[in-house]
Structure 1
């Protein structure tokens, strides 16, 4: 059973996540799952962003960010903050921020 509860959270992924198409693969995975939000590179060689969507899909995306990533990435850790229930979407889709 798919949960209809919408949740949102912030994330940051540490490891070898820049220069390995991490943002592109994250965008693809989020679109596949129907999760909205964004991702961007940081000056600290991490990527960070926000996710929002049905709880089960966001949890699936969290797992993907912790374990899978892009083919040539190396994920040391993924940190998730400020998880909350939301009434409606803030974003229209998932996107890559520069």
Structure 2
């Protein structure tokens, strides 16, 4: 019984640490991503995953931004940005840069920048 309690406590500690592991990454999405509600869908998806960040159109026709939050959710968002996007978008390429671990969130909430 004592061994089971120790294992249970140990597994909970590992789970807690996993949820506290925070990441930040910048992104740029290429393709048909402007005029197709890509920013709105990105903001909605980021919020639904509990992430913080921002998204913005560029003059070059791409969409850029930054996302921060639990590492597993950041990875999930990266897959969404690379493969899903808004229903009318066409994603040709997703570039992720400056991925790093953070000890605390530097951004709060998810917004569209202009």
TM-score by length of structure 1 reads: 0.97
Question: Structure 1: any 5+ residue segments left out of the alignment?
Answer: none
Would you identify which runs of 4 or more consecutive aligned residues in structure 1 move more than 4 Å? none
- Is 1:40 the counterpart of 2:52? The answer is no
Task: Report the CA distance between 1:27 and its aligned residue.
Answer: 0.4
Residue 79 of structure 2 is aligned with which of 63, 70, 77?
63
| Deviation (angstroms), 1:71 | 0.3
More helix by share: 2
Q: Which residue of 2 aligns with 1:11?
A: 27
Give matches, 1:46-85, under 5 Å: 46-85=62-101
Coordinate RMSD, CA, aligned: 1.1
The structure, 1 or 2, with the larger RCO (C-alpha pairs under 8 Å, 6+ apart) is 1
Q: Per-residue displacement from partner, 1:11-39 (whole Å, max 9, x unpaired)?
A: 00000000000000000000000011100
TM-score if structure 2 supplies the norm length? Answer: 0.83
Answer with 1 or 2: which has the greater Rg: 2
Deviations 1:28-58 (A, max 9, x none): 0000000111000001000001010000000
**Paired residues, what number?**
98
Where structure 2 has 5 or more consecutive residues not aligned to the other structure, the ranges are 1-14
Deviation at 1:94, TM superposition (A): 0.8
Kindly indicate which of the two structures has a greater share of residues assigned to strand.
1
For 1:93, the equivalent position in structure 2 comes to 109
Give the Cα separation in 2 of the matches to 1:18 and 1:90.
27
